[in-house]
Structure 1
Amino acid sequence: MTITETRRQAPQSVVARALTKVYGQGDAQVHALRGVDVSFATGAFTAIMGPSGSGKSTLMHCLAGLDSSTSGSVHIGDVELTGLNDKQLTLLRRERIGFIFQAFNLLPTLTAEQNIRLPLEIAGRQADQMLFDRVIETVGLRDRLGHKPTELSGGQQQRVAVARALISKPQVIFADEPTGNLDSRSGAEVLSFLRTSVRELGQTIVMVTHDPVAAAYADRVIFLRDGMLVSELAQPSPQSVLDTLMKLEG
């Protein structure tokens, strides 16, 4: 049985079919995505890579409902994003999706714990205390919960952002260059926490990155070029990722 066949049989948290995205009109048209077919298995860590302008950020934004596709379909679990109105998309993102961005996006007046619990409060939901405790232990923040963002290092702030994304038990977490503002040590810590959340909490993570070392923390890497899915790696290493990128850019 091939890797692709195995993945098809596994439950899928996100599925895109014939996904296209066109910006502009006439001679100014830019085809950011050109008929992308891709799926992301539940409980797996997938990285999206490609040269600058390959469409990786556009793909993530369309998968997460942050941008609409020109044609094709996206499913988050059993819900198709196509045709949802703004209110429905907002509800879907709140209930099913977690986000981790390069900028930590923490509220400076709130403590780490308050920032972590904020999405649940906005949704009018109570935190699962057992899950909260497990997440806090996973990201190593127990002694930092009362600190405000200015009292935390960049790595600690991003760990707060990771915990905030995990605490609502989303169907999938989208991470956009989550280590882009971190030094190598802090970045490695955050990536380890993400990988642990997949292994121990069964979380599904889709991460855009340009860093082969970051991508090697994933179970699988998919590669885009000129808006098309052109290659993928299972169980990647930094060297195998770098070699693939060099072939794409060559």
Structure 2
Amino acid sequence: MTNTSQPGPPAASAVDLAKVYGFGDTQVIALGGVSVEFAAGQFTAIMGPSGSGKSTLMHCMAALDSPTSGKVYIGEVELSSLKDKELTRIRRDRLGFIFQAFNLVPTLNAKENITLPLDIAGQDIDKEWFDTVVRTVGLADRLKHKPNELSGGQQQRVACARALVSRPDIIFADEPTGNLDSRSGAEILAFLRNSVRELGQTIVMVTHDPGAAAYADRVLFLGDGQIVDEMFDPSAEKVLERMKNFDPIGQVS
């Protein structure tokens, strides 16, 4: 497993992070003053019942949504101090994203989808790193295939490679195995695990699946917009048991 303590600043952190939707009687507190650090070179899973704030936390950390109050840092850069163009640059240059929907361009082949962010940014492709990423995700013989010629698991591998190819400081993954069968999901999770162990990547993943969370170094549990617990070196059984304490009907959602 990856070390749980790392020198230097965390890859990302939040201080008193709050997100409130609506006003008055319709007000919903999605996050209620969360402070958290995500260590560099660590795989963190975020879990909690529906409405606990886990996706909101990730979206605020990933600069996809703005908090109502509090601060978010990517490394030592505080996001609220940035203008729109600077935020766009942070997302492009320092963050990677993997979503439940693969978000591939259907008219591009696998290689073109992987390099798309670099092509848009006008950045050169590091061929050695590209080859390492492609080899790690097992796509070397699929690079000329378009998305409709790939299985769901292969499409998500393309999305993972796209997130990795720009060498981001941190990758945010939102239910990355939600649209996959169990075998394909296990392959994607093993890849994410290996990218942390072998490539030094930092990953934050939102999931409802205790089996998926067991691939992480650390699990954060959210409830009612607050971090209510955390676990290191998780197993699916320990995560499921812990989740039952937060959900009165014992269901993970």
Task: Give the TM-score range, shorter chain.
Answer: over 0.9
Quote the RMSD (CA, aligned, Å): 1.3
User: Which residue in the other structure is 2:81 paired with?
Assistant: 83
Question: Do 1:15 and 1:39's aligned partners in 2 also have CA atoms closer than 8 Å?
Answer: yes
> In the TM superposition, what is the alpha-carbon distance from 1:85 to its structure 2 partner?
2.3
Structure 1 residues 111-133: Cα deviation after superposition (integer angstroms, max 9, x where no partner):
00000000001111111111111
Q: In structure 2, what is the Cα distance between the partners aligned to 1:62 and 1:240?
A: 28
What amino acid is the match of 1:121? Answer: D
Structure 1 residues 39-74: Cα deviation after superposition (integer angstroms, max 9, x where no partner):
100011000000110000000000001000011100
Q: Does 1:205 align with 2:203?
A: yes
* Equivalent residue runs for 1:189-228 within 5 Å: 189-228=187-226
Q: In structure 2, what is the Cα distance between the partners aligned to 1:52 and 1:85?
A: 32
> In the TM superposition, what is the alpha-carbon distance from 1:138 to its structure 2 partner?
0.4
User: Which residue in the other structure is 2:171 paired with?
Assistant: 173
Q: Does 1:67 align with 2:77?
A: no
Report the TM-score when normalising by structure 1. Answer: 0.96
User: Which residue in the other structure is 1:117 paired with?
Assistant: 115
Aligned with 1:182 (options 166, 180, 183): 180
What amino acid is the match of 1:196? Answer: N
Q: CA distance change for structure 1 residues 191 and 78 in 2, over 3 Å: closer, same or farther? A: same
Question: Do 2:6 and 2:40's aligned partners in 1 also have CA atoms closer than 8 Å?
Answer: no
> In the TM superposition, what is the alpha-carbon distance from 1:26 to its structure 2 partner?
1.2
Gaps of 5+ in 2: 249-253
Q: In structure 2, what is the Cα distance between the partners aligned to 1:226 and 1:85?
A: 31
Structure 1 residues 195-249: Cα deviation after superposition (integer angstroms, max 9, x where no partner):
1110111000000000000000000000000000000000000001001100011
Q: For this pair of structures, how many residues does the alignment match?
A: 246
